[in-house]
Structure 1
C-alpha cells in the first residue's frame, strides 16, 4: 500500500446541515455537491496512530459508548492564538467546544471541538511540527 489516505468520510445525520457547517462555519470550499455526498478537497493529509484509551483521555471524553468513536481529525495551525480562534469558530453553527485550548504535555497548545454529528476535531499548535 502506498503511504496515502485518499478520503476521510464522515457519516452525518443531516447532509444539508453538515454542508452548511463545513462550508459556512469552517470555511471549506466544496469541490462537488451531489444529492447524497459532498466532497471537500483538503490538500495533504497525515495519518497518525495513537492508543485508543489515550486519545479519548486527551480529548477529555469517555472511550466507550457514543462519546468517543475512536478517531479524531487533527488540524495544525501556526500559533496558539489560531488554536483558540478556530476552536471558537468550530463551536458555532451546531458545533460545540469539547476541550478548551491549553498547553499540552508535549509542549504545544491544543484543544478540541465537535461538529454537529459529534466528530472530534483537534486543533493544535506544535512548535516541533513542520509549519504549513
Structure 2
C-alpha cells in the first residue's frame, strides 16, 4: 500500500468566525472518520500560522536560522493528512473528499517508498 500526503492550502488572514469554521470542521472530522474506518488513515495535523515557523538554511557550511516562512505568499500550508491508498486514483478520491470538506485547495502527493517506516 502506498502513502500519500494531502496538503491543505490556507489563505493568509484571520481565522474564520465560528459560524463558518464549525460546520467545516464537522465535515473534516467526518472525512477523517471515514478514512479511519477504511483503514486509510495514517495521521494528520494542523499547523500554526507561518509567522511561528523557523527556517534553517545551510550557507557556506553554516546553518542560518531565520524567523518566518521560507517564502512569502498569499496562502500557506495550513495542515496535512497522510493516508494509505492502493494507487493515485484512490488517493485523489480521498483528496476530493478532503477538499469538499475543508473548502480549500488541497494537493495530493505520493510519499517516497520507505519514507514513513
- Between structure 1 and structure 2, the one with the greater Rg is 2
TM-score (norm 2): 0.40
Query: Which has more helix, going by share of residues?
Result: 2
TM-score (norm 1): 0.37
Query: Which has more strand, going by share of residues?
Result: 2
